[in-house]
Amino acid sequence: MFKTKMLAFTAIVLGLIAPILLPIPQACAQPGTMPQPLQKQQDTAKQDNTKSWELVDDFSDEFNSPNINRDKWFTEMRPWGDRAWTPDNLSQREGSLFIKASYEPHVQKGKRYFYKLGIVQSNKKTTYGYFEARIKGCSRFPGLCPAFWLYSNGDDLNPTYPKVTYSEIDIVEMQQDLWSPITRTNSGIKHIDCNLHTRIINDDGQEVWVRPNDRPDLCQHEWIPPWDPRDDYHVYACENTPEKITWYIDGEKVAEETNLYWHLPMNVTLTLELRPPLIAWAGVDGREPVPSASTADGFPTEMAVDYVRVWNRVNN
């Protein structure tokens, strides 16, 4: 899908970048246009001329070229169990990045797997800012999860937060169709997850996981849209600050959480990963293939990413 061309004019007033736009849908904003949540913040903070929002090129991409920009994106992640990533499952065309899942039975380290997937990960790392991507889900359901997320590598630490050893912010995970022990049903196609994961050193000196299942009050955030994420592109976004984490979908705030542990350098990441019934939550790695459910039905399939844009607050 080609990006909609819009007229935009930028006026610089008192050192603040204030876009003046024709009325256009939020999802079609041009790259120089601040996202709606940032515009609202800018309007609220006009008394403060010391800071403004700046688009960060290292993490932003319109995907308009025929080839993936390897200066920005790492695409050759080694397979990790059922996450059999390959750059062959990535392509750019018609102004979008496409991440494919394909049925390709293979053996990895003596174990049989059934699918190959795609991943792009930023070469550089960042922590705070506003992150957004315009994404269309994949056609296969259930069994796959298109995702846009930030995560650290376990080595980069922040001396201000010495007990935090891992940070992960799931800006969006869609189409997971996970089982709920509360409702005793699967979540369905419209269920959107905006979750948090971290590892910390507890008071006993042990490194422990903090995740949605054991700390849903802190880590679990859900939203049910009125639309099917497979049918069209939608804008999924998150702002991470030292104080709080806020999620937005199509410019609407859908969740907010106090930022206790998400302060490490993280890579901006887009993936298409397997979910039940094609895998089971079991085994040494916590995920095992399910041979009886692993067929070619619905494959290949792709998620599409129209753009990724990252904004930082900067001092004027």
Query: CA-to-CA distance for 256 and 111, rounded, in angstroms?
Result: 41
Phi, psi torsion values for 227, nearest 5 degrees: -125, 165
3 state SS of 107: strand
Q: Which of 179, 176, 180, 168 is nearest to 209 (CA)?
A: 168
Alpha-carbon dihedral sign for residues 281, 282, 283, 284: positive
Ranges assigned E (strand) in 152-221:
164-174, 179-180, 185-186, 192-193, 196-201, 207-210
Catalytic residue among 61, 132, 168, 239: 168
Q: How far apart are CA 38 and CA 259, in angstroms?
A: 19
Give dist(CA 312, CA 124) in Å, integer: 14
Q: Which residue has the tokens 């024709």?
A: 22
CA 198 and chain centroid, separation? 16
Which entry of 82, 132, 173, 257 is annotated as an active-site residue? 173
Q: What distance in Å separates the CA atoms of residue 316 and residue 313, rounded to the nearest whole number?
A: 10
DSSP type of residue 34: P
Tokens encoding 130: 């506003």
Six-digit token string for 109: 């380290």
- Residue 168 annotated as catalytic: yes
- Gyration radius (Cα) of the chain, Å: 20
* 170 is annotated as an active-site residue: yes
Q: Spot the catalytic one: 61, 170, 177, 239.
A: 170
* Active-site amino acid positions: 168, 170, 173
